[in-house]
Amino acid sequence: MNPAAYAILNLEAVAHNFQKVREAAPRSKIMAVIKGNGYGHGLLAMAGALPHADAFAVARVDEGIRLRKAGIKNRIVVLEGFTATQELEALLIYQLDALVHSFTQLDIFEQRTERAQIAVWLKMDTGMNRLGFKLHDFHAVYQRLQQCSIIKRPIRLMTHLASADDRQDPMTLVQIERFNSTLQGISGERSIANSAGILGWQHALADWVRPGIMLYGISPFPEQTGEQLGLKPIMALHSRLIAVKPIAQGETVGYAGSWVCEQATRLGVVAIGYGDGYPRYAKVGTPVLINGQRVPLIGRVSMDMITVDLNSLPDAKPGDPVTLWGEGLAVEEIAQWADTIPYTLVCGITQRVRQIDSAWLK
Ligand SMILES: *Cc1c(COP(=O)(O)O)cnc(C)c1O
């Protein structure tokens, strides 16, 4: 029997989503972003499903080390680079590419005398105001980096888009223009686009693209689902009904008695909660699929359970299968009901949820 809460990962469909990246950016190399434990899908599972990625991107040094220890040979880019010298040692040992985004890093590089040991991506802050050098510092930083013997040539160049998921927002073109005009006279491969940049902004395609969310079959745009973009969702979250009981008018359900029963209700209890990564702030009415039929969430989400209204499903019984998101119920829709973005839902799946590769089920 399946555990109560489990995620089925259709890893075979990752190749399809990768192909969609190729079609959207046919002349770009692809850096597949698998940080955050592969957006909750499993770091190594995702790396294994993307053998043709020109590079993998992770956020932290630890994630890169895990990939190398698992035998991954592709280029690996650590998006946050390093902070301490110890982390730089790990980047050198495991041959991981580093983002260079701060003067602290530059100072550390300048103290090293070994030759051509590390590949770097120099990050420009074109308006995101997170990591990267300001436009007015960029040329000087580039010159200093050129003098660092430890750095392999050529130096690659990167920026990150802040608002590409809004196709109307003029910020994206402003950022692209800042990046390209600041780079006049500087050669080296360039990278701008995340998934929203790849699918929404032709001018953001450069030598490298950096798809994350679209590889998981999820849309970067709030107004569309991954399926509407021709992507195939990878993760489905399932559980089962564990109790069914009648609730009389006037009774309340769950913590704080926040849901008051207005008419006699057949209540169902499903074994999934925020302890599994189901969103605590999913609103009353959030759809849940039971035996393939939509029913509404009622009451508050607890750590291990949620409650649903089964009035429309008189035959539902304990043991029946439940889908929280997956086929017939897009994770994008659940994200809207929970006032969040689908990234947080898939990333938030906890250790307790058993991950099952759909290929094992065949
Ligand atoms: C996470 C991340 C990406 C991928 O973004 P998606 O929206 O998931 O495609 C690309 N580049 C950088 C720098 C990132 O941090």
Same domain, yes or no: 148 and 46: yes
Q: What distance in Å separates the CA atoms of residue 328 and residue 321, rounded to the nearest whole number?
A: 14
Q: Is the CB of 210 under 6 A from ligand 1?
A: yes
Same domain, yes or no: 145 and 294: no
Same domain, yes or no: 131 and 196: yes
Residue 185 — φ and ψ, nearest 5°?
A: 85, -5
Q: Closest ligand 1 atom to the C-alpha of 31?
A: 10
User: pLDDT-based confidence at 11, cuts 50/70/90?
Assistant: very high
CATH number of the domain where residue 337 is located: 2.40.37.10
Is 35 considered catalytic here? yes
Please report the pLDDT score of residue 3 as a whole number: 72
Structure tokens at 328: 């017939």
pTM of the model: 0.96
Look at residue 332 and tell me if it is in a domain: yes
What is the DSSP track for 228-271?
Answer: GGT----EEEEEEEEEEEEE-TT-EESGGG-EE-SS-EEEEEES
Q: Is the CB of 277 under 6 A from ligand 1?
A: no
Domains held by the chain: number: 2
Look at residue 2 and tell me if it is in a domain: no
CB within 8 A of 259, min separation 6: which ones?
252, 253, 284, 298, 299, 300, 307
Q: Which tens digit of pLDDT belongs to each residue from 269-321?
A: 999 999 999 999 999 999 999 999 999 999 999 999 999 999 999 999 999 99
> How far from chain centre, in Å, is Cα 215?
9
Residue 203 has pLDDT above 80, yes or no: yes
Structure tokens at 71: 């035998």
Same domain, yes or no: 196 and 331: no
Same domain, yes or no: 65 and 112: yes
Determine how β-strand 259-260 pairs with β-strand 265-270: unpaired
Structure tokens at 238: 């399932």
Note whether 154 and 122 are within 8 A (CB).
Answer: no
Q: Is the CB of 220 under 6 A from ligand 1?
A: yes
Please report the pLDDT score of residue 1 as a whole number: 62
Report which of 325, 321, 249 is spatially closest to residue 4, judged by C-alpha positions. 321
* Strands, E assignment, 103-164: 120-123, 156-158
Domain that holds residue 342: 235-361
